[in-house]
Amino acid sequence: MYQKLASLDIPVMIFAPYGTSRHELTDKFFQQSLHEAGPEKGSSRGRINPNWIALLEAIYQLEHQLHANPVGRTIFQKICYTLTEAGVDTGFRFKQGSYGPFSAEVKQALATLANANLIHEQQLGRMTAIRTGPEFLTVRAKYGEALKANNDAVQKTVDLFSRIKNTDQAEEVTTVFFMVRRLQRQGDGSTLTEQDVYDAVLEWKKHWDTPEKHSAIAAAVRNLMMLGWMKVQFSESLPVEQMAF
């Protein structure tokens, strides 16, 4: 935006998004090409990781699906986690958070992408939806190789989140996914069962000790296994009443 308006012979005032770093408010930063930075993990310097094109593509596809829910900030975080676990080198590092897997780096990436007009926020009633921005299609063409390399992960992630009905379900699904990965790192993944995952999730999320949550977590475990997101042994004891998605 700065580069397009700088040549006008009239005064123009541009307001930066809240939380923008001082480094990103300098003339030097504004005058550089938005896409001249090379590949870089994370977003500590406000540079765009080319592999984030996979994240943008997932959002783009979801926002063009008639029945998919809008992507809010919480679901955006969960999409970032899912793509990372699917093999996309996002540079994000996730830890156990109050609402499932969480990475503080995602917030900085969100600001970086917004500053580059690659995403924007749209108010939908009480919800703030994240949508691809006006520069996305241009960058999409430039980073075609990165998108092609990550296409399988993108399509699998889009398929999963097109099935997810709301933020609560996104938290449940990614919490199960996170716990599977943790248990696999801690021991012999070949002996891991659905019941092991279910029990571990409820041990972590003690406030989910309700019949409704028990059913939702069991359904998430079974669905993730059936969709090929995790390899665990079937458990007849898993209290699945109905499929979640």
Could you state, in order of their start, the residue ranges of all structural domains in the chain?
49-163, 167-226
DSSP-H helix ranges across 86-150: 104-115, 136-142, 144-149
Backbone angles phi, psi at 36, to 5 degrees: -80, -15
Report the CATH number of the 49-163 domain: 1.10.10.10
**In this structure, which amino acid lies at residue 187?**
G
pLDDT at 39: 37
Token pair 């994000």 in the structure block, residue: 92
Candidates 219, 214, 217; CA nearest to 245 is 219
Q: pLDDT digit of tens for each residue in the chain (245 aa)? A: 666 666 676 777 776 654 455 555 676 556 554 444 333 444 445 789 999 999 999 999 999 998 888 999 999 999 999 999 999 999 999 998 888 899 999 999 999 999 999 999 998 888 889 999 999 999 999 999 999 999 999 999 999 999 999 999 999 999 999 999 999 998 876 789 999 999 999 999 999 999 999 999 999 999 999 999 999 999 999 998 766 56
Which residues, including other chains, have CB under 8 Å from residue 230's CB and lie 6 or more apart? 177, 180, 197, 224
